[in-house]
Structure 1
Amino acid sequence: MSSIKQFLWWCAGVNEKTLLRYPEEHSKYVSIGATIFFTGLFASIAGGYALYFVFSGSENSIFYAILFGLIWGLAIFNLDRYIVLSIDKTQSTGKQFFQALPRIILAIIIGLVISRPLELKIFDKEIKEHLRVEYLKQQRATIDTLNRTFENKYLVEYGQLSTLKNQADSLESSIKTSRQQLNHEIFGTKTEETSGVLGYGPYAKMKEDNLKKQETYLDTLRSRIQTKESQLLDRKAQEGLLDQKILSDQGLDSVINIAGFADRNTALSNLHKNPDGTVNDATEYAVIFITLLFIFFECLPVFVKLMSGRDTYDNAILSQKTVNNYESDTNVDVEKQALDKLKGHRIDVAIQRRMDKLNDDYENSKLS
């Protein structure tokens, strides 16, 4: 018999000497053992990757992943092996199911926990793209919030700047109109504001002087606006607002690569939501089906044992247990009867022991 078959039988928890008498059942328990083994192996890989993901970037991340993966895989393997061994095939289907129910519940929890890190790896590209969009939104929102806070803090200064800009805009419009009137006056165009006399006369001279005054005042306003803007810009620099910039593509890639579990998990949960608010059913169902697959795989050893019918090996084990139980009970009766028969002799020995002790005490008292 091959060592692989023996190993898989051991994984299934069978009594090898008993099973050897029933060749028709060999393949069945090889399959059960293989299911338990591969479930443990898969749990080891999934658990190891989960911890590697948690400690990603650490020098000892691989060591922790391997160590935790082995411990986790052995724990799941041992648990599956025990549950399969503890299912009594001589009981009814309902009782067998209730025997396996704690393991099924635990398998669902384990499947949910273990499937998440692997889902994060499966949808890694989509998660990174989602994080890129979210991080850009967060950066813009942060910068907007800081700017609004700064504007509220210097509300008076911004009000003065706004007043100056409004005056400058109004004056520019007025200068444009005055320049047009001056041209009309020089070229003799008759309007409500011009004399209609061709040439550079007194009215043209007056309008030109007025235009120069407006332009001089506009230059003053622009100078004041520039000074006020420079003051506000300096205060922004002092408070660090100018250091807040949108990250470049390279900077975003660096931030995304070191994103923690919480951000990636949130991104995966929102992956099925499109920017316009609609839901991508294909992505949502894909995540659900992968989770269900892990849960089913964790429950598989129990399901295999539950689905297998009662066979000759189960009957042989039941018979052996009955014999062992009867032998154990018989041994108790034999020991009880032996103790009963020895009761008189034990009493004589106890009496003699007490007599010897009394004699010793009497001799010691005489010497003293």
Structure 2
Amino acid sequence: MNSISRFFWFCSGVHIPTLEKHPTEHNKYLGIGATIFFTGLFAALSGGYAMYFVFKGDSTALPFAFLFGLIWGLAIFNMDRYIVSSINKSASTGKQLLQATPRILLAIMIGIVISRPLELKIFDKEIKEKLKVTYLNNQRAKIDTLNVAFNNKYKIELAKLKETKAQRDSLESGIKTDRQKLNFEIFGNKTTETSGIMGYGPYAKRKEGELKQREQDLDTLSAGVRKLEDFVDGRKQFDGLMSEKLYTSKQLDSLTSIAGFADRNSALGQLSINSNGKKDVNTALAITFIGLLFIFFECLPVFVKLMSSRGPYDRSVENIETAQMYESDKDKDYEITVIDGVHDTRVSTEINRRKNALNSN
């Protein structure tokens, strides 16, 4: 237990030999040190998780994540330790607040930075679903853009194909009607356009000749349509339209599993917005409060140090610093006095030497 306490005292940035003289201060600085330590631990986990996504899919992802997480955690730990230990409790309340203001702002920024990767992990399932929707919409938009560009590029050919198809369909419909009329004529069905006399007469022969000619025209139009369709399909293949298709569920799962930090971060920001464009208050509050929790946790050591009253440890540290400053001043006076004395001696010696030299001449 003693070694654990000393470790957390070290984390709080105190002068351990001085703190050991004041048992009533032990728990306070143990708590401050533990808070600083766990803040650094969370920062290490957060940084490592973020780096893991940067190198995800690479064999070096885990080593890089571990190394960066360790470095990032130690950096945040050292910064927090400095922030807390640098607050001077011997100063007035206003001066302490002035000292703490930039440190609190820095703590807020650190809290935001370390909370984001952990938020990504907390909302991992929702982020994946949002990414699937985003990827699907992006792919659909890409296909639509390619289609629009293709239609503009081959406007003349597509218009000709449409016109030829319309002619073919119209001719095909007319042939069906004429064939029905021919059958009515042969079987003696009386209509406004048939004679009503059964048999294969002159009228039927003429109709059949016209029908064959129209069927030949239909074959010609159909061949033209097929030729134009082959051309359009070839152009689509060349321009990449045939290869672009909407993602399947398996493809979407694969894409979300390798999504980078930027995509996941963007998806997290979109979680608070519904598909209809309105804000999802519940999700937004959840994300906000999780972020605020880490910000508060990061600021907690500073707040604890500010709220704590000036204890015997602070008085002892102030006395030690005062004594050291006094000793430093005395050392300065000592050095100045010695230098002045040496200087005077050197001057006197030089004066006597020169006088003796003059007298000897």
TM-score tier by shorter-chain length is 0.7 to 0.9
Which residue of structure 2 lines up, in the alignment, with residue 211 of structure 1? 211
- Does 2:137 correspond to 1:137? yes
Moved more, 346-355 or 306-315: 346-355
SS at structure 1 position matched to 2:242 = helix
Looking at structure 2, the residues matched to 49 and 23 of structure 1 have their Cα atoms a distance apart, in angstroms, of: 40
Cα 1:353/1:294, change in 2 over 3 Å: farther
Which residue of structure 1 lines up, in the alignment, with residue 256 of structure 2? 256
Alignment of 1:80-91 (within 5 A): 80-91=80-91
Please say if residues 39 and 301 of structure 1, whose CA atoms lie closer than 8 Å, have aligned partners that are also in contact: no
Please say if residues 120 and 264 of structure 2, whose CA atoms lie closer than 8 Å, have aligned partners that are also in contact: yes
Alignment of 1:1-368 (within 5 A): 2-337=2-337, 344-351=344-351
Moved more, 269-278 or 155-164: 269-278
Deviation at 1:39, TM superposition (A): 1.4
Deviations 1:316-358 (A, max 9, x none): 32233333333433444455555556664343334467789x7
Please say if residues 36 and 77 of structure 1, whose CA atoms lie closer than 8 Å, have aligned partners that are also in contact: yes
Deviations 1:49-99 (A, max 9, x none): 222222223333333222222222222222222221221223233321221
Q: Structure 1 vs Structure 2: percent identity of aligned residues?
A: 57
Looking at structure 1, the residues matched to 170 and 251 of structure 2 have their Cα atoms a distance apart, in angstroms, of: 44
Cα 1:341/1:157, change in 2 over 3 Å: closer
Number of corresponding residues: 359
Please say if residues 165 and 225 of structure 1, whose CA atoms lie closer than 8 Å, have aligned partners that are also in contact: yes
- Matched AA of 1:211: L
Please say if residues 36 and 81 of structure 1, whose CA atoms lie closer than 8 Å, have aligned partners that are also in contact: yes
Q: TM-score scaled to structure 1, two decimals?
A: 0.86
Moved more, 107-116 or 335-344: 335-344
Please say if residues 12 and 85 of structure 1, whose CA atoms lie closer than 8 Å, have aligned partners that are also in contact: yes
Deviations 1:146-174 (A, max 9, x none): 23333333322222211110101111222
Looking at structure 1, the residues matched to 150 and 278 of structure 2 have their Cα atoms a distance apart, in angstroms, of: 36
- Matched AA of 2:24: E
Looking at structure 2, the residues matched to 239 and 146 of structure 1 have their Cα atoms a distance apart, in angstroms, of: 8
Moved more, 254-263 or 186-195: 186-195
Moved more, 173-182 or 36-45: 173-182
Looking at structure 1, the residues matched to 349 and 83 of structure 2 have their Cα atoms a distance apart, in angstroms, of: 51
SS at structure 2 position matched to 1:242 = coil
Please say if residues 53 and 117 of structure 1, whose CA atoms lie closer than 8 Å, have aligned partners that are also in contact: no
Moved more, 57-66 or 84-93: 57-66
Deviation at 1:30, TM superposition (A): 1.1
Deviation at 1:217, TM superposition (A): 1.9
- Matched AA of 1:92: S
Looking at structure 1, the residues matched to 300 and 198 of structure 2 have their Cα atoms a distance apart, in angstroms, of: 104
- Matched AA of 1:67: L
Please say if residues 50 and 114 of structure 1, whose CA atoms lie closer than 8 Å, have aligned partners that are also in contact: no
- Matched AA of 1:216: Q
SS at structure 2 position matched to 1:24 = helix
SS at structure 2 position matched to 1:243 = coil
Cα 1:145/1:344, change in 2 over 3 Å: closer
Looking at structure 2, the residues matched to 349 and 59 of structure 1 have their Cα atoms a distance apart, in angstroms, of: 78
Cα 1:344/1:270, change in 2 over 3 Å: closer
SS at structure 2 position matched to 1:279 = coil
Cα 1:11/1:235, change in 2 over 3 Å: closer
RMSD: 2.8
Cα 1:4/1:154, change in 2 over 3 Å: same
Looking at structure 1, the residues matched to 147 and 334 of structure 2 have their Cα atoms a distance apart, in angstroms, of: 93
Looking at structure 1, the residues matched to 15 and 154 of structure 2 have their Cα atoms a distance apart, in angstroms, of: 84
Cα 1:354/1:174, change in 2 over 3 Å: farther
Which residue of structure 2 lines up, in the alignment, with residue 365 of structure 1? none
Looking at structure 2, the residues matched to 168 and 89 of structure 1 have their Cα atoms a distance apart, in angstroms, of: 94
Deviation at 1:234, TM superposition (A): 2.8
Gaps of 5+ in 1: 363-368
Looking at structure 1, the residues matched to 171 and 245 of structure 2 have their Cα atoms a distance apart, in angstroms, of: 35
- Matched AA of 1:202: P
Deviations 1:229-288 (A, max 9, x none): 123223333444333333433333333333222222222221233333333222222222
Gaps of 5+ in 2: none
